Structure 1
Amino acid sequence: MSEPRRILEMNAFDNRQGGAGPVARRLDNLGAASVLFYRAPIEMVSAQGAWMVAVDGTRYLDFYNNVPSVGHSHPEVVAAVSRQIATLNTHTRYLVAGVDTYLEALKARLPSALSNVVLTCSGSEANDLAMRVARQVSGAGGFVVTETAYHGNTALVTEASPSALKRTAPPAHVVTVPAPGREAYGDDIAGGFARAIRAAMAELDARGIGTAALLADSIFSSDGIFADPPGFLRPAVEAVQAAGGLYIADEVQPGFARTGSAFWGYARHGVAPDIVTMGKPMGNGFPMAGMAARPEHLAAFCEDTGYFNTFGGNPVACAAGLAVLRVIEEEGLQDNAQRVGARLKSDLEEIAARAPRVAAVRGAGLFLGVDLCAPDAPGTPDAAFTVQVIDAMRDAGVLIGAAGRYGATLKLRPPLCLSQAEADRFTEAFAGAVLP
């Protein structure tokens, strides 16, 4: 039987083996906190579009990280950041028109009820603030998350990130439920997931804690990418809200047009979040994040707790964020995610039909998951084979990562500017790695 894997153990260099050259330098500087991709780490020197370049000149197609969402080193984002930092960059306690211009452009993409946006520097900060607001508004202290969720690395958010906990279980105020897939819920994913959420809330009530919020990444990335059927999330969200809890939509990974059919991941499910948190792709690599909430909810929190963020919402971050929104619109990147992602998924399904060790293909837009399994055993995840595939694709010039409870799901998150030719390049490498 496969053993569960922690998020920081997946496709990672083992620091205990030490290293030489740049690896030794990094370990000397960061120690045990160093996290490097691949068993043989890569030293990168530049990137453009969907491609990264290593110090030895090797070009890699980047299907690994969703931070440069509109493409590495996008010229519009570079120009916007350069202009702003050469003009003014200060903290958030002065009026700067560009900050409010960005906030208004972002709010135009959000539900009208969520008209207050607090900008932070990281998704962890945004989720931490959202959890604190939820506790204040609901009067309860507990949270429901999926069993392999990852929501960030502050003390509070780490407790609600089971995939980050190496040796401990979540604390009493956090109850986990299985990810919304057929393995746990059969064909009734919507009903099964809602029943699991209600049972989790009952457990929090039995512990005398109550439910402050359901905190869910609407693509369930760390759980292994669960996107379908659209709408399955709605009964669970409505159950939480009916019980007085909030739904915190963690859009750090699925947001900003990545799922193709909707700008936000939660929108595919027809739900009304109480709080939306954002991060990674907002600034295309410039560190920025945010939380959108109802004014009355934020006011209730601020009555008891003073809050400010020195760097969150600084003018340079907002210039980057506004450029990202503009590029998504002008370059039609949401449509590109839908179109190229649909073709990519279809091509992967065709390969899966011929590859005994590919168990399933899931996802939406340019956010896909591919389950890998033991030979002739679709129900048995194979993390070791997954590492072999990742290494084979690296050798073919393609970067890819892992996810899921057992580390046996390939996680595909290329930049939204991915061309069809680049998608074809990926499927060629994938086929070479998995077909007998």
Structure 2
Amino acid sequence: MSDNASVQRARLPRPNVSAEQAARILREHYGLEGSIRELGSQQDRNYLIDTGASRFVLKIARAEYATVELEAQNAAMHHLAGLQNMPRVPVPLADGAGRHILALSLDGEDCQVRLLTYLDGAPLTRQHFLSTQAVSALGTLSAQIALGLRDFSHPGLDRDLQWDLRRAGPVALQLLGSVTDHARRDAIAKAMVAAVKHIRPLQAAFRTQPIHHDVTDDNVVSRRDRHGRFVPDGVIDFGDVMTGWLVADLAVTCASLLHHADGDPFFILPAIRAFHELYSLKEEELRALWPLVVARAVILVASSEQQLTIEPDNAYVLGNIDHERKIFEVANAVPFSLMEAAILQAVGMDAEKPLPPIGRLLPGIAPEDVRLTDLSVLSLDFVNDNWSDHEIDWKLLAKAAAETDVASTRYGEYRLSYTRLRSDRAPATCALHVDICLPAGAEAVAPFDATIARNGHHLVLVSDDMCLHVDGLDCPLEAGEAVTAGQPIGHVAGAAGAVGGLRLQLCRDADLVPPLFATPEQAAAWSMLCPSPSPLLGASVDAPAPHSAELLAMRQRSFARPQKNYYSNPPQIERGWKEHMFDVCGRAYLDMVNNVTILGHGHPRLARAVGRQWSLLNTNSRFHYAAVAEFSNRLAELAPEGLDTVFLVNSGSEANDLALRLAWAYAGARNIVSLLEAYHGWTVASDAVSTSIADNPRALETRPDWVHPVTAPNTYRGPFRGKDSTADYVGAVAKTLQHIDDSGTGLAGFICETVYGNAGGIPLPPGYLQQVYGMVRERGGVCIADEVQVGYGRLGHYFWGFEEQGVVPDIITVAKGMGNGQPLGTVITRREVADALEQEGYFFSSAGGSPVSCVVGMTVLDIMRDERLQENARETGDHLKARLEALGQRFPLVGTVHGMGLYLGLEFVRDRETLEPATEETAGICDRLLDLGVIMQPTGDHLNVLKIKPPLCLSRESADFFADMLEKVLSEGW
């Protein structure tokens, strides 16, 4: 069949076969009856029948399609189904007469009919977001099918299809006549010409074999993995099986992914890497892969445009055309040379090409006179948030040049000044050029033989293998003039004695005007195309590359394994500002989990206070100095009347440990009542009363006999639910207290978080602490309020969590936010309780209450007051909670929203009746949020609660960004 005949056949409409006719075929020829609905198809009619016991697909093709081709499709399915380690595939079934293909005439229209088994699973095409795991799995699946078909043979494989990428150029030419939009037609034609130009020199090396040629997101079915992500595991629709280029099979798969890519063509790289790991491709095939993706995009969009002229109401085509236009748009939004470099890097074929000989551009500037500026995340020249000044780079460069005459920015540097707050994607921060401040009038010479090209003041020196882009040079030469290495080409623009500036960038691709900056993900590929301009200056102007992976490996070698880090592949965070954190590549993350930094990161007032105190004195609290007296007094004033005595320690664990010792000493007994699902610290005593199995999987079986855990008063998923559950939970405590009474060993005290923080910010039942505290005090016990996480203004509506319950504890423990990251904790109690400890000797903490720690603590309180952070926690927290509760009305996965202020817990469940925890889904959601620029972690015994506890300076804009990103994840997937 000729290319023209193939295109003509592709112009045929689908067979005109109704659901009633399909039902009759199924009943009369296959003995099947059940519910029927039509499935989409471009040129076939496909009907799904559900008999109740099984499901099947009836495929009806026009008679113009050769029977031998349909036989080849059936044979390919049987072949793959018989192999080991293959994805699931449909199996063709015979009718009552043993026929696998039926030739039928339906209302005068000749058709060919087949019946296939139905594969359960969801197609990927309607999933807006695909995880990296899903993309990689699709690449693996494509390779498995290609390997499985490698030794398959059938006469029906030698066919002419419009989808055959070996004929993409002529087919596109035929299809273009149906594209009525002139601008779209011109774009399609231009893209195909460029693709063919890149493919033709390489195609002699391409391998040919039987291929599926349609392993796409639309033609695979998937199942959810343990994280609730869709991962493909079955292939359907063998309608395009044929003999073709092996690499074309992968190109088709990659093209189908582009409408999921959110505009980023690098999205496909995991699929390429996975395919290549299983079925290695040759270098020529890999170099041609992206042009083949572009060619596939051309055929897709042109074919759909044509089909709509034939069948304007074809719902399948109408449903796909927006996707196909998006595929075309993404495929043509990036240079071929960039994608070639990225693909070769992805599979480990990225041998760096040596630079051609390049001389110095500015012979009058000594290399040792060039001073480099630091514009990285770690730069000391960035103070507070001056990095947000749009002109800060030039200001710092000019400042450096004023001191040394010549100053340059650094190539390959990830600039903090180009970060973007509250952005769902990493911005372009990696500099692919350098800017130089130097005396105006400095002479420039050609660094290599070249031809002059101009675009206004933008000058380009073009050679066969390198281009130099220059701005800021007065050059008298005309476009088209040839220059030789060392020939003068102009002077740095500017008046004599003034400071001038040059912008320099090298590029290997003469057809490209490269960007000045690249995103971190694309930086490696762009650096292949735009190498360092260091040779032009005779000195290195390169920034050191981040070594995050090496540092993580170093951490894992020397840092104790029980000290975990967030995320399996964590960003390297080295700077912060308010509620934002920055990694070494300049990516900004919204910190929604860091309750340690209650003021926010990088607070200048706190930094000044700490620096001043360090310059004066830092020692232990046994010396007499003002700060320890002043800070202790401030803390006592924050507590309810009667709690007038303060201990200063280093952490919440130490504070709770000390509180337990105080209870033992004061009560003269050992028994402590604590709550299940709680966490109080890591010291021996604080760990003993911690029962959270998320923090310690063996917590429930390793408690010492003096610890008496009682039922967690979890009003959402506990044994007693709702606000009316107080009596039941109090009753559980009463039983435990009675058991202690019966033992005759006495009660030391009761410890609990006053809002159930570790479980996700769940409020205690109304009146719970009033009744429990009363029962404990009746027995001479001490009531300990663990406010380490929930207190100190975080709840917004209350400074202390116990205020919500209307009680006053005997001991308050605090840490975390009170030092804004400085090791600082406190125990606030009554004088007689504190004095009881002297029976066991004196208490001492080397760093607890040091001058620096005390100044930190007082400055934190001053800033909280002056910046109204508790009020902000209330107002912004209430707004955020309302946004999160609104998500619960749309997404069944949202069970409820706990907490108040800026201590919230969003709990995910698979079923709102059974409250089955969505543990794996929560982990996947947190990972996706990180990709979108939000730091979030799960909490609770089931790790199914988002623990939302950001710095109290969180802005309303940031709260909305978090809610928006969470909505995006819940809508699109993770």
Structure 1 residues 129-171: Cα deviation after superposition (integer angstroms, max 9, x where no partner):
1101101111221112221111111111111111243334322
CA–CA separation in structure 2 for the residues paired with 1:411 and 1:363: 10
CA–CA separation in structure 2 for the residues paired with 1:58 and 1:375: 36
Counterpart contact for 1:146–1:223, Cα < 8 Å: no
Q: Which has the higher contact order (CA 8 A, sep 6+)?
A: 1
Structure 1 residue 158 corresponds to structure 2 residue 693: no
Question: Which residue number in structure 1 is paired with residue 705 of structure 2?
Answer: 172
Task: Report the alpha carbon displacement of residue 378 of structure 1 after superposing the two structures with TM.
Answer: 5.5
1:197 counterpart SS class = helix
Structure 1 residues 364-402: Cα deviation after superposition (integer angstroms, max 9, x where no partner):
110001110115655111110110111111111011111
Residue pairs, 1:184-199, within 5 angstroms: 184-187=719-722, 188-199=724-735
Partner amino acid, structure 2, of 1:138: A
Structure 1 residues 390-416: Cα deviation after superposition (integer angstroms, max 9, x where no partner):
111111101111111211111000110
Task: Report the alpha carbon displacement of residue 329 of structure 1 after superposing the two structures with TM.
Answer: 0.7
Question: Which residue number in structure 2 is paired with residue 41 of structure 1?
Answer: 570
Question: Which residue number in structure 2 is paired with residue 239 of structure 1?
Answer: 775
Residue pairs, 1:354-393, within 5 angstroms: 354-374=890-910, 379-393=915-929
Question: Which residue number in structure 2 is paired with residue 7 of structure 1?
Answer: none
CA–CA separation in structure 2 for the residues paired with 1:434 and 1:343: 19
Task: Report the alpha carbon displacement of residue 332 of structure 1 after superposing the two structures with TM.
Answer: 0.7
Identity of aligned pairs, percent? 35
The 10-residue stretch of structure 1 (160-169 or 105-114) with the greater mean CA deviation from structure 2: 160-169
Counterpart contact for 2:763–2:899, Cα < 8 Å: yes
Distance 1:288 1:58, change over 3 A: same
Partner amino acid, structure 2, of 1:80: A
Which of 938, 961, 966 is matched with 1:402 structurally?
Answer: 938
Q: How many residues align?
A: 419
Task: Report the alpha carbon displacement of residue 190 of structure 1 after superposing the two structures with TM.
Answer: 2.5
CA–CA separation in structure 2 for the residues paired with 1:344 and 1:335: 14
Structure 1 residue 429 corresponds to structure 2 residue 965: yes
Structure 1 residues 218-255: Cα deviation after superposition (integer angstroms, max 9, x where no partner):
12111232125654432222222222211101111111
Partner amino acid, structure 2, of 1:150: Y
CA–CA separation in structure 1 for the residues paired with 2:816 and 2:560: 25
The 10-residue stretch of structure 1 (167-176 or 84-93) with the greater mean CA deviation from structure 2: 167-176
1:145 counterpart SS class = strand
Partner amino acid, structure 2, of 1:296: E
Residue pairs, 1:27-426, within 5 angstroms: 27-163=556-692, 164-167=695-698, 168-182=701-715, 183-187=718-722, 188-227=724-763, 231-374=767-910, 379-426=915-962
CA–CA separation in structure 1 for the residues paired with 2:639 and 2:631: 13
CA–CA separation in structure 2 for the residues paired with 1:234 and 1:434: 40
Counterpart contact for 2:637–2:644, Cα < 8 Å: no
Distance 1:205 1:81, change over 3 A: same
Structure 1 residues 332-374: Cα deviation after superposition (integer angstroms, max 9, x where no partner):
1111111111111111111111111011111011000111011
Task: Report the alpha carbon displacement of residue 114 of structure 1 after superposing the two structures with TM.
Answer: 1.2
1:61 counterpart SS class = strand
Structure 1 residues 235-284: Cα deviation after superposition (integer angstroms, max 9, x where no partner):
22222222221110111111110001111111111111000011111111
Counterpart contact for 1:280–1:289, Cα < 8 Å: yes
CA–CA separation in structure 2 for the residues paired with 1:38 and 1:389: 12
The 10-residue stretch of structure 1 (267-276 or 301-310) with the greater mean CA deviation from structure 2: 301-310
Counterpart contact for 2:713–2:765, Cα < 8 Å: no
Counterpart contact for 1:214–1:240, Cα < 8 Å: yes
CA–CA separation in structure 1 for the residues paired with 2:733 and 2:807: 16
Counterpart contact for 2:754–2:764, Cα < 8 Å: no
Structure 1 residues 270-316: Cα deviation after superposition (integer angstroms, max 9, x where no partner):
11100001111111111110111111111112123321112110010
The 10-residue stretch of structure 1 (300-309 or 128-137) with the greater mean CA deviation from structure 2: 300-309
TM-score, normalisation: structure 1? 0.92
* Contiguous gaps of at least 5 residues in structure 2: 1-226, 228-547
2:751 counterpart SS class = strand
Question: Which residue number in structure 1 is paired with residue 205 of structure 2?
Answer: none
Partner amino acid, structure 1, of 2:707: V
Task: Report the alpha carbon displacement of residue 31 of structure 1 after superposing the two structures with TM.
Answer: 3.1
CA–CA separation in structure 1 for the residues paired with 2:691 and 2:850: 32
Counterpart contact for 2:939–2:945, Cα < 8 Å: yes
CA–CA separation in structure 1 for the residues paired with 2:556 and 2:947: 27
CA–CA separation in structure 2 for the residues paired with 1:66 and 1:73: 15
Distance 1:332 1:20, change over 3 A: closer
1:201 counterpart SS class = helix
Structure 1 residues 312-332: Cα deviation after superposition (integer angstroms, max 9, x where no partner):
100100100001101111111
Task: Report the alpha carbon displacement of residue 200 of structure 1 after superposing the two structures with TM.
Answer: 2.1
Q: How much is the aligned-residue C-alpha RMSD, in angstroms? A: 1.8
Task: Report the alpha carbon displacement of residue 45 of structure 1 after superposing the two structures with TM.
Answer: 0.8
CA–CA separation in structure 1 for the residues paired with 2:857 and 2:896: 35
TM-score, normalisation: structure 2? 0.42
CA–CA separation in structure 2 for the residues paired with 1:34 and 1:131: 25
Counterpart contact for 1:201–1:210, Cα < 8 Å: no
2:638 counterpart SS class = coil
Distance 1:282 1:208, change over 3 A: same
Task: Report the alpha carbon displacement of residue 192 of structure 1 after superposing the two structures with TM.
Answer: 2.4
